[in-house]
Amino acid sequence: MLNFISAEWRRLALLNYAVPPELLEPLLAPGLTLDLWQKQAYVSLVAFEFVETKVLGVKWPGFTAFPEINLRFYVRHGDRRGVQFVKELVPSRWVAFLARALYNEPYQAYPMSVEVQPLPSHGAINIRHKVKDLLDLRVKGTGAWSLLM
């Protein structure tokens, strides 16, 4: 089965913040509840680059690599876990339009850039995700990441 969209995520920054559940409850889509951890709700600011992007298996010129920054929180639908997006920013008006039209996702086009500066020690890098006049996110990291399940 052919996926509608496929891509890799690169240069990822994930920042999690605990917030009072009552701040997010008005934003919940019908049928969803907050997914709490130790009675606390969390929001995440996620910045990354889509690369090797394909739509219906095709790499469309000009749309194979672009940054995205999104703000999300964690939800449940019965026993199933998921995320609900508050806002998703991309630099392309076309990508934002298609995501809103096809998926009803809260995408908005905004001028954006990603810069990467390698550092000489232990494969470290500085990553900067910038959204003109809105956000300037700078993260220092290494290639030594682990995923805890």
Which residues pair with residue 91 across a beta bridge? none
pLDDT confidence of residue 1 = 63
Taking the model in full, what pTM does it have? 0.80
Which pLDDT does position 148 carry in this prediction?
A: 33
Task: Output the pLDDT for position 141.
Answer: 67
Cβ proximity of 47 and 67 under 8 Å: yes
| Residues in the chain with pLDDT values less than 70 | 1-2, 121-125, 141-149
* pLDDT at residue number 144: 46
Query: What CATH code is assigned to 5-110?
Result: 2.40.400.10
pLDDT at 137: 79
